[in-house]
Amino acid sequence: MGATVRSLAPEYAVIEARFFGINTREEIEQAFAECLGTALELDTWLLLADCTDLAFAPHISDLKDLVDALAALGVTDRFREALVRPMDVTAAVSVGFWATAGTNRGLAMEMFRDRDEAIAWLLSPAQG
């Protein structure tokens, strides 16, 4: 069904992507492009991916291409993504793959069950 992307400024220097319902590969790619555009425009690389209401995500092979593209941007030292775990078990597998693939490529990604906990991690000093 889709995704929305917005800045949480001025309260937080965070970009929020909310994913809900069934997402096609095209919808995920569009949200990815919107997140990148917003990150470049605002010069912030803190991302909150709220996947609570995500019911289905594309095959993990489709996600691999996107995480490879993200890792290739050269923002590893500034990028952090907090993912709020989906309630749907199948979607949670895809989101878990995304987090693991990103971490394996040197990106700071963590999964959380709670939105407030995810935001707190994003805003905490980076552990290096």
Q: What is the pTM of this model?
A: 0.91
Residue 112 lies in a domain: yes
- Residues forming a β-bridge with 40: none
- Tens of pLDDT along 105-119? 999 999 999 999 999
pLDDT score of 128: 54
Residue 58 lies in a domain: yes
Instruction: Find the domain containing 47 and state its range.
Output: 2-123
pLDDT score of 61: 80
Residue 41 lies in a domain: yes
HSE on the CB side for 75, CA within 13 Å?
Answer: 17
Residue 128 lies in a domain: no
Residue 16 lies in a domain: yes
Instruction: Count up the domains in the chain and report the number.
Output: 1
Q: Is 84 helix (H, G, I), strand (E, B) or coil?
A: strand
Residues of the chain with pLDDT under 70: 1, 57-58, 127-128
**At 65, which CATH number?**
3.30.750.24
- Element at 35 (helix H, strand E): helix 25-42
